[in-house]
Amino acid sequence: MRHRNKLDLSFLSHCFHPEKLLAALFLIPFLMFFFQPRMGVRLQFDPPKEAGQIQVYRTDSSVSFNYRSVFDVSKTTTTLQADGLHEDLTVFRLRFTGIRELNLQQIQFRFFGVPVKTMRAEEIASSIFDATSIRTELKGKSPQEIRLYIPSDNADLYFKPYNYLSFPFWAGYLLVLYGISLLLVQGLFALLERIGVKNRLEEILFFSYPAAVVMFGELANGSVSAMDTPYFFLNYGGLLGLSLVLRALTTRSLSLTLVNLFFGVAYLANHFVSLFRGRPILPWDIRAMNTAADVAAQYNYTLTPRILCLCLVILGAATLPYLLKLSVIRDFLEESGKKRKTGVHRGGVLSGSRFSAEAFYTKTEEGTEAKKPLKKRLAARALFFLSGAALLALLHLSPLYGNLQTDSWDVYIVMDYQRQGFPATFLKFYESYQVHAPKGYSQAEVERIYKEYAALARKENAKTAEEFAGKKHPAKILMIMNESLSEISYENKAIEQDTMPFLRSLHKNTVRGNLYVSVRGGGTCNTEFESLTGNSMAFLPANTYPYEGYLNRDTFSLASYFKNKGYEIASLHLSEKKNWNRQTVYPYLSLEPFFSIRDYPRVPTLRGYATDAFDLETLQKVEEKMSGRKKFLFNVTMQNHGGYAPTNDLTPTFSMKKYEKEAGGDLNPLEVYDTVVRLSDDAIKKLIDTYQKDPEPVMIIIYGDHQPALGDAADKLLFGEEQAGEDGKEKLAKYKTPFIIWTNYETPEKRIDALSANYLSYLILKTAGEPLTPYEALIGRCFEEYPVISAYGILDKDGKYVENMADAENKDAILQKNEILLDYAYAQYNNLFDKNRVEKLFTQIPKEEPEK
């Protein structure tokens, strides 16, 4: 009887060896990143009556405008499909432009073209949670449609969070990834075996675990879908490089645990900080760890599936390297592999690499083989260290890392962390905010500055006392930083429409002029910082925000000055306290109590921002409720905040249509901006008219924080094709705003053509007839030589432009050539950063020396 050949299935046991099955799990995070379950959305609707655009937003956060698809819709269009949505989509948003009415039939979500969720009219209607100005109405019986009535452009439709990927989908998705991973493991094991690696499972775990931490860490923070592949490898490479360096100093298991456990916990902390505070962890938050620990118990913590996955990754980092060394597990894995061929390929072209491979991969550190010779062990550790250090250096010096963004407005912080990854962006923020002492700085130099300018302050204060003898000093000081206040339309092109007729008419009892600031279109807090403290952004790194990273202790400000002189203090900002970290820094500046929009249940708004009319009325009411006779109030308005798209609640009163050809584009933003500025002018007039009748001496300071960002067409119209010019002031034209200091008592009329924001505190004290501290005397002396010192340039007393000091080397070169600027930089560094601050330089008011 002929015997049939038995089918040899030994290759299956080889392929499905327990070590390989386990190793395949470790590779899944890599595959999850490269094969993310990205979705497509298909909208089906009746042909619209008007052509226009529909924008599909792909994320749910305030940075959603950066992740969108724009579709042109004609009168015959009935469907559109947007690809690139991600599984972490929790809010779906549509924006309509040009279309005024649309019958929406259904919204279908697809995965690789396969429908996984279809929302019909009733479900769409029930899931809408915000429609701005859009009115919705269900039409028909079966099937129904939802009719959208869209009154204006840029109207948004928001849908509630939903889960359109079911458990079976996720199970199938992970199963497919596991199959792919198992195939990759076959080749990986063969390669590792060929080069002499004995602990293949442990090595795969070591090199793949940082990817698991990055993948699930970013997923827990809702951001992996926004991260491009280069940024994933930037963060993964950073964790792997640290692991290699630590492996050289410790063991494979310990280095894996230390690095991945640390970053896993950091990711977890970042999730909850972002959840409770609205922005991720930043380097300067480390100083507040004790406070954070005290309040952490007051919050509720929810374990979502993503957080649970991250917790499992953290647990794995702490346990897996050691579980794999347990004898029961090692025996199981080795017993299962007895039928497999043993030994290592000993010939061929790879035999020459055996020394390095065996030095790297040995069971020595796992305690399962006799120790290798000391020379080989040292060579292995040196190779690990050099490999890790080289990888870290390569990543740090790469253009990818060098070009990481570190914007400090809350919305952009979130966006930067999502796009670039938590570890890399955190480190970039840390580096970008580093400040080094100016060359030659010392405590002795600061003491010299104190003595020199205390003597100057003493002389100046004597002159001021003589000048103001018998004259009034303000009992009420209202300092108002008006959002985006500027005169650019009327001033730059002689456009006949005056946006600020009242402010322009103020001359009597008024000091007025041009205020040069260090920001444009945003960065309000930097003008606030300069004008309140007398410090200059010129001496700080470019693109930094002191409110975010530098103010962490009590610091001199106008508020602290007047508080020490017996004034009652208050501050008002009709927006969120967290904006620009004000809730943290205002106490350091003595700006307490701090009233925000949360203190007023019904705030009239325009374009979503508190109106200046209500803001200034509220400021007056706050002042009236203060019990002290002498009062200092600081106010930041919101009405004129960007953007400047047309809205239903504002009808522009200025027309720029005749200039659009010259500008080469749409000037609607300029029309909106000019309209709200005119409303600010009206509100300011009402405030000043009220205080004109006040029996107490009143001083009101009003200034703009920066110019608005109105787009290229408006810039071309207002500033011309080229910004630069021979005159230095022209170079800074985009950084100029108006300021006035008005009193209801006699004050000499004065105009100052150029004054940077850091000098405003000095000018206020001089106008009020108040004595100077040595620091303010130094600022005043510097003003005489350099009326403008900003992040974008310096103007000397002759109006000559001095290049800006954004570059650190250039900054030191300029400072070394200018003694007064160097003294200013020394004093500011001592004020903000030196632990041994010379307090008397900033707070003491020198008395007149007695005659000898």
Q: What is the pLDDT of residues 440-494, one digit of tens each?
A: 999 999 999 999 999 999 999 999 999 999 999 999 999 999 999 998 876 655 5
**Of 367-371, 390-394, 403-407, 758-762, the least confident:** 367-371
Tell me which DSSP letter residue 510 carries: E
Band of pLDDT at residue 87, cut at 50, 70 and 90: low
Q: Residue 33: what pLDDT?
A: 83
Q: What are all long-range contacts of 391-398, with beta carbons under 8 Å and residues at least 24 apart?
A: 391/237, 391/240, 391/241, 391/244, 392/238, 392/241, 392/242, 392/245, 395/234, 395/237, 395/238, 395/241, 398/234
CA distance 155 to 148: 11
Query: What is the CA 165 to chain-centroid distance, rounded?
Result: 31
Q: Residue 238: what pLDDT?
A: 96
pLDDT digits (tens, 9 = 90+) for 671-704: 999 999 999 999 999 999 999 999 999 999 999 9
Band of pLDDT at residue 351, cut at 50, 70 and 90: very low
Find the mean pLDDT for residues 557-569: 96
Closest by Cα among 322, 329, 212 to 257: 322
Q: Residue 334: what pLDDT?
A: 65
| Mean model confidence pLDDT for the chain | 84
Band of pLDDT at residue 68, cut at 50, 70 and 90: low
**Of 187-191, 245-249, 370-374, 432-436, the least confident:** 370-374
Tell me which DSSP letter residue 198 carries: S
Q: Residue 345: what pLDDT?
A: 41
Between 165 and 350, residue with greater pLDDT: 165
Q: What are phi and psi of 104, to 5 degrees?
A: -95, 125
Enter the tokens of residue 701: 């300071």
Q: Is 261 exposed, middle or buried (0-12, 13-18, 19+ CB in 10 A)?
A: middle
DSSP structure string for 5-18: PPP--HHHHHHT-H
CA distance 669 to 554: 40
Q: Is 722 exposed, middle or buried (0-12, 13-18, 19+ CB in 10 A)?
A: exposed
Find the angle CA(727)-CA(730)-CA(733) to the nearest 5 degrees. 160
For residue 172, cis peptide bond before it (omega within 30 degrees of 0): no
Enter the tokens of residue 574: 């009709």
Q: In the chain, what are the helix, strand and coil shares in percent, each to the nearest 5? A: 50, 15, 35
Three-class SS state of 228: coil
CA distance 271 to 274: 5
pLDDT digits (tens, 9 = 90+) for 398-416: 999 999 888 766 667 777 8
Q: Residue 114: what pLDDT?
A: 78
Asked whether residue 631 carries a pLDDT value surpassing 90, the answer given is yes
Asked whether residue 16 carries a pLDDT value surpassing 90, the answer given is no
CA distance 494 to 635: 31
CA distance 65 to 513: 38
Q: 743 forms bridges with which residues in the sheet? A: 699
**Best-predicted range by mean pLDDT (89-98, 553-562, 789-798):** 553-562
pLDDT digits (tens, 9 = 90+) for 502-519: 999 999 999 999 999 999
Tell me which DSSP letter residue 92 carries: E
Pairing type for strands 52-57 and 68-73 reads: antiparallel
Q: Residue 483: what pLDDT?
A: 96
**Of 57-66, 304-313, 322-331, 788-797, the least confident:** 57-66
Closest by Cα among 28, 12, 20, 11 to 176: 28
CA distance 650 to 604: 13
**Of 88-92, 146-150, 614-618, the least confident:** 88-92
Between 586 and 714, residue with greater pLDDT: 586
Band of pLDDT at residue 352, cut at 50, 70 and 90: very low
Asked whether residue 348 carries a pLDDT value surpassing 50, the answer given is no
Q: For residue 697, give every residue at least 6 positions away whose Cβ sits within 8 Å of its Cβ, in sequence order, or none.
A: 472, 473, 474, 475, 476, 743, 744, 745
Band of pLDDT at residue 381, cut at 50, 70 and 90: very high
Between 664 and 599, residue with greater pLDDT: 599
Find the mean pLDDT for residues 628-649: 91
Locus of tokens 């050949």? 5
Label residues 643-652 b or e (16+ Cβ within 10 Å = b): bbeebeeeeb
Closest by Cα among 203, 224, 226 to 214: 224
Show the 3-state SS of 316-354.
Answer: HHHHHHHHCCCHHHHHHHHHHCCCCCCCCCCCCHHHHHH
Three-class SS state of 214: helix
pLDDT digits (tens, 9 = 90+) for 745-759: 999 999 999 999 999
Query: What does pTM read for this prediction?
Result: 0.72
Q: For residue 292, give every residue at least 6 positions away whose Cβ sits within 8 Å of its Cβ, in sequence order, or none.
A: 273, 285
Asked whether residue 269 carries a pLDDT value surpassing 50, the answer given is yes
Q: Residue 597: what pLDDT?
A: 94
Q: For residue 313, give every residue at least 6 positions away whose Cβ sits within 8 Å of its Cβ, in sequence order, or none.
A: 212, 213, 216, 217, 260, 264
Is the domain covering 443-479+500-603+631-637+669-678+688-707+725-843 a CATH 3.30.70 domain? no
Largest CA distance in the chain: 134
Q: Residue 353: what pLDDT?
A: 41
Enter the tokens of residue 192: 């590792």
Helices (H) and strands (E) in the chain, counts: 32, 24
Q: Residue 162: what pLDDT?
A: 55
Tell me which DSSP letter residue 246 carries: H
pLDDT digits (tens, 9 = 90+) for 279-335: 788 887 776 565 555 455 555 677 778 889 899 999 999 999 998 887 677 766 666
Q: Is 812 exposed, middle or buried (0-12, 13-18, 19+ CB in 10 A)?
A: middle
pLDDT digits (tens, 9 = 90+) for 192-214: 888 888 888 898 999 999 999 99
Find the mean pLDDT for residues 32-43: 80
Q: Residue 467: what pLDDT?
A: 93
Band of pLDDT at residue 354, cut at 50, 70 and 90: very low
Find the mean pLDDT for residues 358-378: 57
Q: Residue 830: what pLDDT?
A: 97
Q: Tell which phi-psi region holds residue 91, choosing left (phi > 0), alpha (psi between -120 and 50) or beta.
A: beta
Q: Residue 108: what pLDDT?
A: 86
Q: Residue 628: what pLDDT?
A: 83
Q: Where are the domains of the chain?
A: 34-159, 192-284+302-337+358-432, 443-479+500-603+631-637+669-678+688-707+725-843
Between 446 and 131, residue with greater pLDDT: 446
Q: What are phi and psi of 217, to 5 degrees?
A: -65, -45
Find the mean pLDDT for residues 417-425: 90
Between 68 and 813, residue with greater pLDDT: 813
CA distance 827 to 443: 10
